Amino acid sequence: MSLYVAPHGISLDRLHSIAREITRPLDSVEMRPGAGGYLWVGRAPERFAPAIDDATGVIVVTSGRLAWPQEAWNTAARLPYRGGLANRLILERYLTGGVASVAPYNGDATIIIHDPSSQCTHSWTDQFGIHPCYIYCRESPERCILTTFPDALLADASTEVTYDLVTMEEFLRVWRATPPHTYYKEVKHIGAATHTIVDMRARSITSTVYWTPFERDFFPSIDTAAESLTAAVRSALYERTAIANKPVCFLSGGTDSRILLFGAADRTRAVGAHIYEYETLEKQTAAELCAAAGCQFLQLQRDNDYYPRILKEVVRWSGAMWSAEDMHYLGFEDQINDLDADLVMTACSADWIFKNDTLDRRHISILGRNLPFFKYQNDFRKTWHSSTPVDPPSLEAQARLDNWFAGCPETLTTSHDHFMVSDRRMRPVSYVDGISGQIMHRVFPYDSFFADSRIAECYSRIHPDWKLNRAVWGKVAARICTDGAKIVDANYGWRVDAGLAQKALVFGAGWLGRRIRRRPTTPAMTNDANRAPAAGSWPKLGWYAVHSTTMRDLWQSITPEERDRMNIIARTDHWSRPIENLTENGNLLFRLMTLLCHWRECERRRGSAKNSALEKRLAHDAVEIAATQ
């Protein structure tokens, strides 16, 4: 889903130009010109299309999917408003309870309300900032635009954006950028858990944070935390899947995604879709999980040019936020559409929200060997991945990091210190790399169940000790996935509810077994010369540097202007060496190609907008000439 809102006003011609660029074949489209004019693009309009109160003229436009219990949906159908049921309920909140009653809310969504009586346009983002929302020209109420897709501005001939080379440098270096910055100097993220008001009468734009985590005490015990979080996750999953006829859950053999299947309101309607390269234990485990849940198993094998082949389309619909290296799903859009899927979910955000990806940590080691267990690292580093060393940033990029992490202590000595740093790294989640969120919202009927106020309140009270070694999330998975309790995590070989002692035994047995076992007891993974060798669940990306004609042709197509710009950003000339030089750094290869494709997509969209505006002017002139004659 996407939205594009102009508080001051917008013409129908501009809306049509934007709609042509951001609408996909299965999308519904609704647009309204004038003050508070908007473009809404999405699925299931009967539930999620904009809603209006004819008596007051107040309009609610939402990008994403609000979640409500069944009784609320029934109530929405009886309310005296027009439009999508989910937004009728928000409209009722606003008209009866005012601005303060709108948030927090449940749903992976950004909410916009235009009130003509006050000449104000309000926006709200979810507590984790999972659903994207950006503002163009924040300093000017007359020119500002609220949108969930920065690249949509390129299709509007009335806007002007310029490249932010610092953001591009950050992307090449660390796979993401520092909020609130984007690839355009004029466009900034609006913030997680944020209420923004564009007041045309006062000619002002103001923002306030409506929710702050960690203001209550931690849960008294890990089991209390697990019980509360389990109840929240169950409710969030049930409400989302109860209204879906065919929910599709992208499934691995690990802990996180199995929760989607076993938490569904009706498992028999669900589909577990597993993407793979080779026959592996992970694929076998995914199939076993589907069988235990009583749902359909869909296996989706990547072809040997999968990531290079879909790269340009990935860039078009992700806006290059972030790299094609973690855009695993777009290439199987047709197969998902063939199922008539009306809900698509992943559990990618669990690593960031409820496990240890954002904590400063290091492996516990014995005899120089890293164990799959962690302890705190108390020296704070201003990076997004605490355990991953990277090249030093430029002065401009370092200044952005300094500003974002301002107030964080250099030495982390308390639980609050670790939580503060963890939260800064994680929210807004729409900036997190590796979870494909931006593109999922625009390509599929996607919903992240983590965007839920009940889950946010649990997050706020969970001690970091319970996240450090994934203990609390394992307990939640064990409570929800009781029918699949005996199916071990394919990544580690232990049950999802295993404690540290059990995990240590499994790890030790596996380490010893790998040295004495003669015959494998799980499917053998034999690399194919015509396919990229495996690197965990995904292929080794550097393989494409040598074996993909698509990638090599793209590499060789760079223009002198593009190469000069890339040299400035990367601070080196990667094209002075052959593409084979990146065989051992496939991640950098894909980031370079992602950025290159994005520049070309930007120019294409700019040209399309100019041509559209020119066509409108020529048509208008022709009408005037005909009238004169």
- pLDDT tens for residues 144-162? 999 999 999 999 999 999 9
Among 52-56, 400-404, 486-490, which stretch is predicted with the lowest mean pLDDT? Answer: 486-490
- pLDDT tens for residues 290-345? 999 999 999 999 999 999 999 999 999 999 998 887 789 999 999 999 999 999 99
Same domain, yes or no: 624 and 485: no
What is the rounded distance in angstroms from the CA atom of residue 613 to the CA atom of residue 15?
12
Give the pLDDT of residue 367: 77
Q: Which residue has the higher pLDDT, 184 or 370?
A: 184
What is the rounded distance in angstroms from the CA atom of residue 228 to the CA atom of residue 463?
13
Confidence of residue 528 (pLDDT cuts 50, 70, 90): confident
Same domain, yes or no: 38 and 139: yes
Confidence of residue 520 (pLDDT cuts 50, 70, 90): very low
Nearest residue to 193 (alpha-carbon basis) of 451, 438, 454: 451
Answer yes or no: is pLDDT of 509 > 90: no
Same domain, yes or no: 438 and 579: no
Q: How many CB atoms lie within 10 A of CB 619?
A: 11
Sheet-wide strand order for 37-42:
28-32, 37-42, 2-6, 145-147, 134-136, 187-189
Q: Is residue 425 part of a domain?
A: no
* Range list of β-strands (E), 210-270: 247-250
Q: How many domains, the chain?
A: 3
φ and ψ of 189, to 5 deg: -70, 145
Same domain, yes or no: 157 and 47: yes
Answer yes or no: is pLDDT of 405 > 50: yes
Q: Is residue 417 part of a domain?
A: no
What is the rounded distance in angstroms from the CA atom of residue 508 to the CA atom of residue 375?
19
Q: Is residue 321 part of a domain?
A: yes
- pLDDT tens for residues 132-148? 999 999 999 999 999 99
Nearest residue to 27 (alpha-carbon basis) of 5, 11, 6, 48: 48
Answer yes or no: is pLDDT of 37 > 70: yes
Give the pLDDT of residue 390: 72
Share the mean pLDDT of the chain. 92
- pLDDT tens for residues 197-244? 999 999 999 999 999 999 999 999 999 999 999 999 999 999 999 999
Same domain, yes or no: 171 and 261: no
For the chain, helix, strand, coil in percent to 5 are: 45, 15, 40
The three-class DSSP label of residue 100 is helix
What is the rounded distance in angstroms from the CA atom of residue 314 to the CA atom of residue 323?
9
Give the pLDDT of residue 485: 82
Question: Would residue 98 be called left, alpha or beta, if left means φ above 0 and alpha means ψ between -120 and 50 degrees?
Answer: left
Confidence of residue 615 (pLDDT cuts 50, 70, 90): low
- pLDDT tens for residues 446-466? 999 999 999 999 999 999 999
* CATH number of the domain that residue 322 is part of: 3.40.50.620
Q: Which two tokens stand for residue 622?
A: 């022709």
What is the rounded distance in angstroms from the CA atom of residue 459 to the CA atom of residue 510?
33
Give the pLDDT of residue 82: 97
The three-class DSSP label of residue 529 is coil
Rounded CA Rg of the chain: 25
Average pLDDT estimate for 44-60: 98
Same domain, yes or no: 192 and 264: no
Contact 265, 242 (CB under 8 A): yes
Q: Is residue 422 part of a domain?
A: no
Residues 6+ apart with CB under 8 A from 215: 460
% pLDDT > 70, the chain? 93
Same domain, yes or no: 162 and 283: no
Q: Which two tokens stand for residue 214?
A: 């960690």
Contact 8, 141 (CB under 8 A): yes
Same domain, yes or no: 312 and 454: yes
Average pLDDT estimate for 571-587: 95
Give the pLDDT of residue 537: 81
Residue type, 193: A
φ and ψ of 264, to 5 deg: -70, 150
Confidence of residue 611 (pLDDT cuts 50, 70, 90): confident
Give the pLDDT of residue 536: 78
Of 211, 232, 253, which one is at a domain's C-terminal end? 211
Q: Which helix (H) or strand (E) holds 92?
A: helix 85-97
Q: Is residue 535 part of a domain?
A: no
- pLDDT tens for residues 372-387? 889 999 999 898 876 5
Same domain, yes or no: 461 and 610: no
Give the pLDDT of residue 527: 65
Average pLDDT estimate for 2-18: 97
Contact 554, 308 (CB under 8 A): yes
- pLDDT tens for residues 249-287? 999 999 999 999 999 999 999 999 999 999 999 999 999
Q: Is residue 436 part of a domain?
A: yes
Average pLDDT estimate for 124-130: 98
Q: Is residue 387 part of a domain?
A: no
Q: Which two tokens stand for residue 244?
A: 């879906």
Of 469, 497, 525, which one is at a domain's C-terminal end? 497
Same domain, yes or no: 280 and 148: no
Answer yes or no: is pLDDT of 183 > 50: yes
Q: How many CB atoms lie within 10 A of CB 300?
A: 15
Confidence of residue 617 (pLDDT cuts 50, 70, 90): low
Same domain, yes or no: 147 and 172: yes
Query: Which burial class, exposed, middle or buried, applies to 71 when counting CB atoms under 10 A from its CB (0-12, 13-18, 19+)?
Result: exposed
Answer yes or no: is pLDDT of 491 > 90: no
Nearest residue to 579 (alpha-carbon basis) of 569, 589, 587: 589
Give the pLDDT of residue 370: 85
- In Å, how far are 25, 353, 547 from 531, measured between CA atoms? 32, 34, 9
Q: Is residue 364 part of a domain?
A: no
Domain with 463 in it: 222-350+430-497
Q: How many CB atoms lie within 10 A of CB 494?
A: 20
Average pLDDT estimate for 522-528: 58
Give the pLDDT of residue 518: 44
Beta bridge pairs of residue 297: 272
Residue type, 312: K
Of 462, 497, 532, which one is at a domain's C-terminal end? 497
* CATH number of the domain that residue 191 is part of: 3.60.20.10
Answer yes or no: is pLDDT of 516 > 60: no
Contact 449, 429 (CB under 8 A): no
Average pLDDT estimate for 173-197: 97
Exposure b/e, 14-25, CB count within 10 A at least 16 = b: bbbbbbebbbee
Q: What one-character-per-residue DSSP string does 23-79 give?
A: --TT-EEEEE-BTTEEEEEES-HHHHS-EE-TTT--EEEEEEEE---HHHHHHHTTS
Q: Which helix (H) or strand (E) holds 373?
A: strand 369-376
Same domain, yes or no: 246 and 340: yes
